[in-house]
Amino acid sequence: MENDILMRTWLDDLNLSHPLLIAGPCSAETEEQVLKIAHELKDSDASFFRAGIWKPRTRPGGFEGVGAIGLKWLQRAKAETGLPMAVEVANATHVQLALEHNIDVLWIGARTTVNPFAVQEIADALKNTDKIVLVKNPVNPDLALWIGAVERLHNAGIKKLGVIHRGFSTYEKTKYRNIPEWQLAIELQNRFPDLPLICDPSHITGKRDMIQDVSQKALDLNYDGLIIETHIDPDNAWSDAAQQVTPTALKQICKDLKVRKETDTEDEFTVKMNKFRLNIDELDSKIIDVLAKRMKIADEIGQLKKDRNVAVLQNKRWVEILDKMIVQGNEKGLSEDFIMSIFKAIHDESISHQQNVINRKD
């Protein structure tokens, strides 16, 4: 798959003067809504019009899409605006209906990518099709699952492939709806450079005011395009209202984005440096999270020592930890001085936390 140049051919054939842009509402709600948005996007940078027809919801009772009737609305929107159409498919029936309505782009959603049986069913239904097929990353940060889904489609004779990075679910509270985990998408890009990579800032952020920033980061990392949810009345959208933007806002986002020249030596340096820096930023954030969790445990240890009237400093335990970490650090190429300085600071902070707990008046 690494050497299959046809993957990128479909993107090159579009002859775009700007990054690929897939835009449209999270969900097709009414025919009027679909047509109005499509007409407002006709003269934008949008390369494809997207709309959710079938909507997988986490819990029953939510809006699950209008179903097959929406495909007819997309046909009309295409006829009136000339915009190619894109929809999400989750099973063979969806695929068959999409093909019958001549949908141009089909994508597999994050909840489907995690299920190899479902992906294989879709691959079999699409066997040897010339349609563009995009694969969103799985809900969980599993690069093998993401690659496996692409491989199943590739093995079914589908050559016009691409991937969509929409972020990953986490139980921890962050500023993102789905944490980007940029390093996973970068690793996929490094391993399959001919596989078009598209960013979904709408699902990564969950907030329209963050879309510009995440979109710029994606372009700085040399992504091939964006998929941005766009609605004429976002606040009253039937699904994912907070992350959708108006067509006017989308046009401004596109205008403000800085697109780097891939062939410029200085820009190539900037792209690579941004990748490294984003990796470092994410790792630094994780280090802070781990340290915070460690200090929370130190607080609990302090409470236990207070309850049992035990001294804070346990020197034997500290020496054991330090010796163990020096050995592990050396195995990872880290110097003894570095390990000692880092863990001395961690130990000092841990002791401070325990002392604060012990001295606290309950």
Greater model confidence, 275 or 40: 40
The pLDDT of residue 5? 46
Within the chain, residue ranges assigned H as helices are: 6-12, 31-41, 69-81, 92-100, 110-113, 116-125, 143-155, 182-191, 201-205, 211-220, 247-256, 265-308, 315-331, 336-359
Separation between Cα atoms, residue 40 and residue 43, nearest integer Å: 7
Q: Which of 55-59, 254-258, 356-360 is predicted most confidently?
A: 254-258
Residue 280 has pLDDT above 70, yes or no: yes
Model pTM score: 0.77
Pairing assessment for the beta strands 161-165 and 197-199 based on DSSP bridges: parallel
pLDDT tens readout for residues 203-244: 999 999 999 999 999 999 999 999 999 999 999 999 999 999
- Which of the residue ranges 172-186, 266-280, 324-338 would you say has the lowest mean pLDDT? 266-280
Q: Hey, what amino acid is at 289?
A: D
The pLDDT of residue 56? 78
**C-alpha to C-alpha distances, 152 to 96, 123, 148, nearest whole angstrom:** 18, 6, 6
Angle formed by the axes of helices 265-308 and 336-359, nearest 10°: 40
Mean predicted lDDT score pLDDT of the chain: 92
pLDDT tens readout for residues 117-167: 999 999 999 998 999 999 999 999 999 999 999 999 999 999 999 999 999
Rounded average pLDDT over 6-11:
81
The pLDDT of residue 261? 64
The pLDDT of residue 263? 55
Residue 43 has pLDDT above 80, yes or no: yes
Rounded average pLDDT over 315-319:
88
Separation between Cα atoms, residue 359 and residue 314, nearest integer Å: 17
- Which of the residue ranges 42-46, 264-268, 310-314 would you say has the lowest mean pLDDT? 264-268
CA angle at 97 for the pair 93 and 98, rounded to the nearest 5°: 115
Rounded average pLDDT over 45-58:
90
Q: Look at residues 250, 249, 347 and name the one whose alpha carbon lies nearest to residue 301.
A: 347
Q: pLDDT class for 269, splitting at 50, 70, 90?
A: confident
The pLDDT of residue 58? 72
The pLDDT of residue 267? 73
pLDDT tens readout for residues 156-182: 999 999 999 999 998 777 889 999 999
Q: Hey, what amino acid is at 60?
A: P
Ordered domains of the chain (ranges, CATH) = 6-259 (3.20.20.70), 268-359 (1.20.59.10)
The pLDDT of residue 132? 97
The pLDDT of residue 219? 95
The pLDDT of residue 262? 60
Residue 91 has pLDDT above 90, yes or no: yes
